[in-house]
Structure 1
Amino acid sequence: MDKLFHGSNVIVEHPDIRIRGYEKDFGYGFYCTAIESQAKKWALSKKGNHVVNIYEFEGHNGYKTKVFSEMTEEWLDFVIDCRRGRRHDYDIVEGPMADDQIWNYIEDVVAGNITRTAFWELAKFKHPTHQIVFCTQEAIKSIKYSSHYNL
């Protein structure tokens, strides 16, 4: 089993999909990461408490999954579509994260302010990121709450 982390302002023993707020990289769902320091950043960005939740992940077995091992043209198109509100039918999507700076570059590509070539030059200097989103209630069953800690 793999360990995943979710940064929040609350303890999340029973993850759920909440469809509200702005569109995210891989659409709506429950977002986790395999990078603990990234989950800490997510937790510290929340108002109130700063909690890192820890889960055991049973794997992608039997779920319709899309995995991006790195930022590619396909990843870029997928993120643009999801951020624009287009839905997909995957249970789990995993790959790099478009942080605020990367998202600004993506917006520049969409607006025609920079080329895709320029985007890739700017994006390659960013540190590694990881996110995995559980897009269906069925997929959420593949993770089990383990513990949490406060920052």
Structure 2
Amino acid sequence: MKVYHTSTIEIINPDIIHSREGLDFGKGFYCTVLREQAEAYGLRFSLRGIPAILNEYVLDSAYLEANIRQFVSYDEEWLDFIMANRQNQPVTDYEIIEGGVADDKIFRTIDLYLSGDITKTDALNRLKYEKPNHQICFRSQSVIDRYLKFVSSTEL
């Protein structure tokens, strides 16, 4: 399957070393199957006058052999998982995590919940109307090396 990662550079050999802490699914290399989502993310760079590079990879279907956690909706488990990662709490030893993105719109709800301005029930009620975007977080370098192969890059 094709997956995409947008950056300011071409990334032929992805790694988790350069990843930041406190992201949705923790430290890792993030991709999506949604090309449009990856292109839209590239606008963040373009608006600041920085080149945006769309990197395309092939993800070998054997990746399903890895230790994977998949979230299919913005539910309580997803919310708890995102909250823990955003607060830099260690939550898992999964090699790959797949599920919805806590983008700016979604994060406003999470931020209200984090600050105590709304309850978990209120947050979940708001989230149930949102259509999840998609992200795959590779948290293991050996999984990246085994299953993710660079195809090409394109400047957006």
TM over 0.5: yes
Task: Output one character per residue of 1:89-131: Cα deviation in whole Å (capped at 9) or x when no partner.
Answer: 1110000000122112112112221122321332234343000
- The alignment status of 1:145 with 2:144, answered yes or no, reads no
Contiguous gaps of at least 5 residues in structure 2: none
> Is the Cα–Cα contact under 8 Å of residues 29 and 134 in structure 1 kept in the other structure?
yes
Q: Which amino acid aligns with 1:116?
A: K
Q: TM-score normalized by structure 2?
A: 0.88
> Is the Cα–Cα contact under 8 Å of residues 70 and 98 in structure 2 kept in the other structure?
yes
RMSD: 1.6
Please give the secondary structure, in 1, of the residue aligned with 2:151. Answer: strand
> Is the Cα–Cα contact under 8 Å of residues 7 and 41 in structure 1 kept in the other structure?
no
Identify if the C-alpha distance between structure 1 residues 49 and 67 changes in structure 2 by more than 3 Å, giving closer, same or farther.
Answer: same
Tell me the equivalent position of 1:123.
127
Tell me the equivalent position of 2:107.
103
Tell me the equivalent position of 1:16.
15
Residue 67 of structure 1, aligned match among 66, 70, 91: 70
Tell me the equivalent position of 2:25.
26
Q: TM-score normalized by structure 1?
A: 0.91
Q: Which amino acid aligns with 2:150?
A: Y
Q: Percent identity?
A: 35
> Is the Cα–Cα contact under 8 Å of residues 30 and 136 in structure 2 kept in the other structure?
yes
Contiguous gaps of at least 5 residues in structure 1: none
Q: Which amino acid aligns with 1:109?
A: Y
Instruction: Return the alpha-carbon distance in structure 2 between the equivalents of residues 119 and 52 of structure 1.
Output: 33
Aligned residues: 150
TM-superposed CA distance for 1:23, in Å, is 0.9
> Is the Cα–Cα contact under 8 Å of residues 74 and 132 in structure 2 kept in the other structure?
no
